[in-house]
Amino acid sequence: MSEHLNEALSAYLDGELDEAARAAAENHLAACAECRTALEGLHGLVRRAQTLDDRPPEHDLWAGIAERIGEPGTADVIPLAPRRRRFTFSVPQLAAAAVALMVVSGGTAVLLTRGGPSRPGAGATSGAPARVTAVALPAQRAIDSYDAAIGELQQTLTARRGQLDTATVRVLEQSLRVIDLAIAQARAALTQDPNNQYLNSHLQRALDRKLDVLRRAATLPAVS
């Protein structure tokens, strides 16, 4: 096998390969350090995701997000009965959830947070009830608004790229790559489980994180 395992890596970890394909994958892994590293990373994501509790978000985040992107304070709501069960995601879904969790925790935006402007609307959901029995799923109009706002801010960042410190630009680009990966993987997982509260919540927060990073980047001082 001259190519990397790519999608076959997830199937290998899930035990979905037949005997011949599994033997071929193991032979490839024995000779390919890059695929072994990727497999170890997937193992770590699975272990971390399996420790997460299955619970709805403490607050409905949609009202604050809609306010920040200029949408009316309404959204299509799909009622979901409270459930207590352990998810049985495939590896791609677990990876999406784990990566999204790491992104929205804020660890990739430390440089931007230091000395950056306060985030507008941070207290928009402070009065929300602690218990939620329905989740507001992002409607297409909201996704379009996110994409439009993100596109404008990315144009601003591109225009200012030469004015910013090169180390700051590297951190920005790395943060945005991680966020984009989380968004793409969460969306892919949601095509298989569109009513999943956990994934919908983290998709919303990852989109909001990208807006926040770009907004902060647009206000960074130019290098003198």
Chain segment 171-198, per-residue pLDDT in tens: 878 878 888 888 888 788 878 888 787 7
Residue 80 sits at φ, ψ, to 5 deg, of: -130, 125
Distances (CA, A) of 92 to 7, 128, 171, 178, 181: 9, 32, 26, 16, 12
Q: Residue 169 is which amino acid?
A: V
Q: 175: closest CA among 149, 157, 148, 156?
A: 157
How large a percentage of the chain has pLDDT more than 70? 52
Q: Residue 154 is which amino acid?
A: Q
- Weakly modelled stretches of the chain, pLDDT under 70: 1-2, 6-7, 44-144, 224
pLDDT for 123: 42
- Does the reported pTM lie above 0.85? no
pLDDT for 28: 87
pLDDT for 67: 60
DSSP-derived secondary structure letter, 136: E
- What span, in angstroms and rounded, lies between the C-alpha atoms of 6 and 4? 6
pLDDT for 95: 46
**Residue 102 token pair:** 């790491």
